[in-house]
């Protein structure tokens, strides 16, 4: 139970936006080297936590991401996706907790993020579950709902800002 609570705590900016189906299960778009490395969360009044995000290259089209605190973290599979003219999208899938695997068969959890890279800052926004219901049963239905709302300025919400560590 403690691991579950830690897991949920670490997903603060992802809360409520979990999808049981991926937008696409295939990683076909090459990774972006500028996203690789250690990123530090820029704390806010609402979330003063000291969190880091380590983004590593898994293969030419996928990242492995470790997100969280020093002793508590989650591991994610991440890859770029394209949907019509929506760009800068990354789909993430939980693949494990620090020192404890996740049973993917029972708990597949996907999130869709939109990112913006500006200098040393990376802004991540999560797909708004108030607009796109998390009960989509198929990838096709999820795509249809996103495309029907692509002009909505609130389609991606809850910005989290990370700053590249180092120089």
Contacts of 112 (CB under 8 A, 6+ apart): 17, 19, 23, 81, 89, 90, 91, 92, 126, 127, 146
pTM: 0.84
What are the domain boundaries of the chain? 2-164
Q: Confidence class of residue 12 from pLDDT cuts 50, 70 and 90?
A: very low
Q: What is the tens place of the pLDDT at every residue in 89-114?
A: 999 988 887 766 666 555 578 899 99
Q: How far apart are CA 22 and CA 89, in angstroms?
A: 13
Q: How far apart are CA 105 and CA 76, in angstroms?
A: 15
Q: How far apart are CA 27 and CA 23, in angstroms?
A: 11
């Amino acid at each position: 139970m403690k691991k579950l609570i830690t897991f949920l705590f670490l997903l603060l900016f992802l809360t409520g936006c979990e999808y049981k189906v991926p937008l696409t299960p295939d990683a076909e778009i090459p990774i972006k080297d500028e996203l690789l490395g250690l990123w530090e969360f820029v704390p806010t009044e609402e979330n003063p936590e000291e969190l880091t995000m380590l983004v590593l290259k898994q293969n030419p089209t996928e990242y492995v991401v470790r997100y969280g605190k020093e002793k508590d973290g989650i591991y994610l599979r991440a890859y770029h996706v394209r949907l019509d003219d929506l760009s800068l999208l990354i789909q993430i899938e939980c693949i494990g907790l620090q020192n404890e695997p996740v049973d993917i068969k029972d708990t597949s959890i996907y999130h869709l993020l939109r990112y913006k890279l500006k200098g040393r800052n990376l802004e991540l926004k999560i797909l708004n579950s108030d607009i796109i219901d998390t009960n989509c049963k198929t990838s096709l239905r999820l795509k249809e709902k996103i495309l029907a709302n692509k002009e909505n300025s609130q389609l991606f919400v809850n910005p989290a800002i990370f700053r590249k560590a180092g120089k």
